[in-house]
Amino acid sequence: MFPDGETVAPAVTAVFTAVLTEGPISRVALARRLDLSSAAVTKAARPLIEMGYLEELAATERTGPGAGRPASPLVIRADREFFVGVKITGDELIGVVCDLGAQVRASAHRRLAAADLDYVLTQLGELVDDLLDGPGDYRARTRRLGLAVSGDVDHSTGLVRYSPFLRWRDVPLRERAEKATGLTVTVENDVKALTTAEHWFGEGVGAESFALVTVGAGIGCGLVVNGRLVSGSHGVAGEIGHVGFDVNGPACHCGSRGCVEAVAGTDAIIRDAGLRFDDAVAAARAGDERVGAVFARAGEAIGCGIAAVANLVGPDRIVVSGEGLSAYDLFEPHIRAGFQRQAFGAAADCPLSIRPLPFEEWARGAATVSIKALVGQ
């Protein structure tokens, strides 16, 4: 977990995670939040303070009615350690350096001329060097790298079993990336990584359950249930892009037909509109009924996929994001109509919030996964 690699008590992990995601927070509030005694919280916090991961702020509030001593809230020391996060797409690497609070300190992009693994790893190594050796001098306090990749990823082993946009199968990415960079690497599905960032530092802070749906080249979904990210026994929980929408619909790269992604993904819209995506957006906004119908059907498919999540999981709220939101005005009424039609009973009351996020936020998600690995979660 921490620099010496020693196993730490569960209370230490719980206190650190709570301060990391909800701080500044007093010991009294931590005790209530974690159902621990004040003495247990103090004991758990002591090594974290000694190692420089937490610090006490000046006293700001009293511990209770009539209490004589104000509380000194605990807060993370954000610059104690830094983390690199990289989102790998089919044609680009997007990298960031984040502090312990997942705030982006530096970012960089690198175009990919090919998806060949050796080439991508060479570019990854150069990107990491640029980030760590540039302004800020982050290398001395950086040990971890998080990688976010689309597709079927085994988080526990760092194996990319299948990434359709990179055309990778059974790639031992963690092992190869550690050799290329010299850092401790964590690999996660890109949507799950983004969901982790939203759960710990964004829309999902404090939520026991929520879903993040992404619209773009793929249609993805990350799920948090009972306060924890859901991966499932096979690591592919939440793949609503491959929920059936039209049994007679177009073939999907997964081998099935009529999946939500085969109808609503960026490539599907390009195929059905017969135009580049930006041109299709412009045509639909200009009133082209044929192209507008393509976006309408795509929105309906996405709405039905979101309804499936609401029906099965019943999250507190659903966040919709992704690069495809540049055309959200064309999708929105049809997403909401499809959702309302397919959602069962009170599931239709689940609020949908729209949160456009640039690819740097996906890279931040990758960094957050590496922060989570430090914590031991």
- DSSP assignment of 180-205: HHSSEEEEEEHHHHHHHHHHHHSTTT
Centre a 10 Å sphere on the Cβ of residue 164 and count the other Cβ atoms it contains.
Answer: 19
The residue with greater pLDDT, 1 or 73, is: 73
* 11 vs 232, more confident: 11
The pLDDT value recorded for residue 7 is 60
**What pLDDT is attached to residue 192?**
92
Q: How far apart are CA 241 and CA 259, in angstroms?
A: 6
Res 68 pLDDT > 70: no
Q: Choose the weakest-confidence range: 117-131, 210-224, 271-285.
A: 210-224
Q: Cis link prior to 24 (omega < 30° from 0)?
A: yes
pLDDT at 204 (0 to 100): 81
Among 21-25, 114-118, 320-324, name the one with the lowest average pLDDT: 320-324
Tokens, residue 156: 């526990």
Structure tokens at 340: 């309302």
Residue 64: is its pLDDT beyond 70?
A: no
Tokens of 114: 């090919």
Sequence-separated (6 or more) residues with CB below 8 Å from residue 246: 257, 258, 263, 301
Residue 179 has pLDDT above 50, yes or no: yes
Cα-to-chain-centroid distance, residue 207:
15
Give the pLDDT mean for 169-190: 96
pLDDT at 274 over 90: yes
pLDDT higher than 50, residue 266: yes
CA angle 263, 264, 266 (to 5 degrees): 115
Q: How high is the mean pLDDT of the chain?
A: 89
How far is residue 52's CA from residue 286's CA, in Å, rounded to a whole number? 57
**Tell me, what's the pLDDT at 61?**
53
The per-residue b/e assignment along 325-358, b for 16 or more CB within 10 angstroms, e otherwise, is bebbebbbebbeebbeebbeeebeebebeeeebe
For 288, the token pair is 């082209």
Q: Are 159 and 172 in contact (CB under 8 A)?
A: yes
**What's the pLDDT score for residue 230?**
85
pLDDT in tens, 69-109: 567 899 999 999 999 999 999 899 999 999 999 999 999 99
Give me the mean pLDDT over the 352-364 stretch.
85
pLDDT at residue 377 in the model: 65
What pLDDT score was predicted for residue 183? 97
Question: Given pLDDT bands bounded at 50, 70 and 90, which one contains residue 355?
Answer: confident
**Domains observed in the chain:** 10-76 (1.10.10.10), 81-195+361-375 (3.30.420.40), 206-354 (3.30.420.40)
Q: Are strands 70-71 and 61-62 parallel, antiparallel or unpaired?
A: antiparallel
297 vs 331: CA distance, rounded Å: 9
Q: What is the dihedral of CA 88, 89, 91, 95, to 10 degrees?
A: -40
Calpha distance 320→309 (Å, rounded): 12
Please say whether the beta carbons of 241 and 220 come within 8 A.
yes
